[in-house]
């Protein structure tokens, strides 16, 4: 039986995630607490791994109930804690000093800051896929690959690349159910691989994205027929969720059932 093996949310966009046992669905379709915060520069652009390599060496812990963020620089001992409401100027000052330019920590409680605004629901992958892809790179462990791919929901008791069943051709959506919630699988997502670095060590992997694309091209050529792949190195499945699912909770252990392939009729909102 395919089921939810783990759930991860990423409180601050581009930074570390935290494992949770359950997560409510927002009206946007996103998981509550996922990418609720983002770091922006003066121009309003996101500070992320694509634009600033310092993101890879910034470690985050986050207490959701107490709304306390812990920040530290990788390979250092000192971790500084901030209340994200009462101490917003202090956390922004710390981050500005770290990056070397002024930044703001912004928040969107309604929809967060999804990577795909057309499909702002949780991203999905199988645990077996993470392990398989990690095995392609001798110096990348499963947890490191999990950190790179940054999926919200992992599906267990299925083979690698099982999640490819959750999206159809470019003009189709796949409806599936997780517990009581109906999802639409929209398209395959592209993980952030631009840095080619191991986030647990200052070690470069200059050909990581090229190697991933070549391996996918070798073992998954049929995916091109679905029309989503303008290039390889895409993993994960991006989703949408109906508005009426707002407030419903996804739990570890929930069964995953594929329902149908058809056109989308759900109305959603995105940021």
Residue 144 is predicted with a pLDDT of 87
Verify that 55 and 88 share a domain, yes or no.
Answer: yes
Asked whether residue 267 is domain-assigned, the answer is: no
Verify that 10 and 124 share a domain, yes or no.
Answer: yes
- CA angle in degrees (0–180, nearest 5) for 255-65-102: 110
Query: Number of C-alpha atoms within 13 angstroms, CB side, residue 124?
Result: 34
Query: Domain boundary at 92, 107, 122, which?
Result: 107
3-state secondary structure of 178: strand
Verify that 254 and 138 share a domain, yes or no.
Answer: yes
Phi, psi angle pair for 223, to nearest 5°:
-65, -25
Verify that 58 and 130 share a domain, yes or no.
Answer: no
Verify that 129 and 235 share a domain, yes or no.
Answer: yes
The token duo for 263 is: 């056109």
Verify that 22 and 44 share a domain, yes or no.
Answer: no
The CA distance from 244 to 82, in Å, is: 35
Verify that 76 and 206 share a domain, yes or no.
Answer: no
Residue 51 is predicted with a pLDDT of 85
Rg of the chain over Cα atoms, rounded to whole angstroms, equals: 18
Asked whether residue 271 is domain-assigned, the answer is: no
Asked whether residue 269 is domain-assigned, the answer is: no
Verify that 70 and 19 share a domain, yes or no.
Answer: no
Residue 231 is predicted with a pLDDT of 41
For the question of whether the overall pTM of this predicted structure is more than 0.75, the answer is: yes
Q: Is the dihedral of CA 64, 19, 2, 263 positive or negative?
A: positive
Residue 118 is predicted with a pLDDT of 85
Query: Domain boundary at 58, 78, 107, which?
Result: 107
Asked whether residue 175 is domain-assigned, the answer is: yes
Residue 196 is predicted with a pLDDT of 42
User: What is the end-to-end Cα distance of the chain in Å, rounded?
Assistant: 34
Count the Cβ atoms, other than its own, within 10 Å of residue 251: 15
Verify that 43 and 22 share a domain, yes or no.
Answer: no
In terms of residue numbers, what domain contains 44?
A: 37-107
Number of structural domains, the chain?
A: 2
Verify that 100 and 174 share a domain, yes or no.
Answer: no
Residue 268 is predicted with a pLDDT of 46
Residue 222 is predicted with a pLDDT of 54
Query: Number of C-alpha atoms within 13 angstroms, CB side, residue 68?
Result: 7
Per-residue model confidence as pLDDT tens for the chain (271 residues): 999 999 999 999 999 999 999 999 999 999 999 999 999 999 999 999 888 889 989 999 999 999 999 999 999 999 999 999 999 999 999 999 999 999 999 999 899 999 888 889 999 999 999 998 888 888 888 998 898 889 999 999 999 989 988 987 777 889 999 999 999 988 776 655 544 444 444 454 545 666 666 666 666 555 544 544 444 446 789 999 989 999 999 999 999 999 988 765 554 444 3
Verify that 190 and 75 share a domain, yes or no.
Answer: no
Query: Domain boundary at 85, 107, 129, which?
Result: 107
Asked whether residue 268 is domain-assigned, the answer is: no
């Amino acid at each position: 039986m395919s089921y939810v093996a783990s759930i991860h949310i990423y409180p601050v966009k581009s930074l570390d995630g935290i494992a949770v046992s359950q997560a409510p669905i927002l009206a946007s379709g996103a998981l509550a607490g996922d990418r609720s915060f983002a770091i922006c520069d003066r121009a309003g652009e996101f500070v992320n791994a694509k634009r600033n390599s310092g993101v890879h060496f910034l470690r985050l812990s986050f207490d959701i109930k107490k709304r306390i963020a812990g920040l530290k620089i990788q390979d250092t001992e000192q971790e500084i804690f901030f209340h994200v409401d009462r101490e917003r100027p202090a956390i922004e000052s710390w981050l500005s000093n770290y990056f070397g330019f002024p930044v703001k920590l912004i928040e969107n409680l309604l929809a967060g800051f999804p990577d795909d605004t057309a499909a702002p629901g949780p991203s999905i992958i199988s645990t077996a896929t993470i392990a398989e892809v990690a095995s392609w790179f001798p110096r990348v462990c499963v947890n490191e690959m999990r950190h790179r791919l940054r999926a919200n929901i992992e599906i267990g008791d299925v083979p690698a690349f099982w999640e490819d069943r959750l999206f159809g051709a470019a003009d189709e959506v796949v409806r599936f159910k997780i517990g009581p919630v109906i999802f639409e699988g929209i398209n395959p997502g592209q993980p952030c691989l631009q840095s080619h670095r191991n986030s647990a060590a200052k070690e470069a992997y200059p050909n990581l994205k090229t190697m991933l694309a070549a391996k996918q091209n070798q073992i998954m050529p049929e995916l091109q027929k679905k029309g989503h792949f303008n290039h390889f190195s895409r993993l994960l499945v991006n989703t949408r969720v109906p508005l009426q699912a707002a407030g419903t909770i996804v739990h570890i252990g929930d069964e995953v059932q594929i329902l149908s392939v058809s056109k989308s009729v759900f109305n959603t909102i995105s940021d």
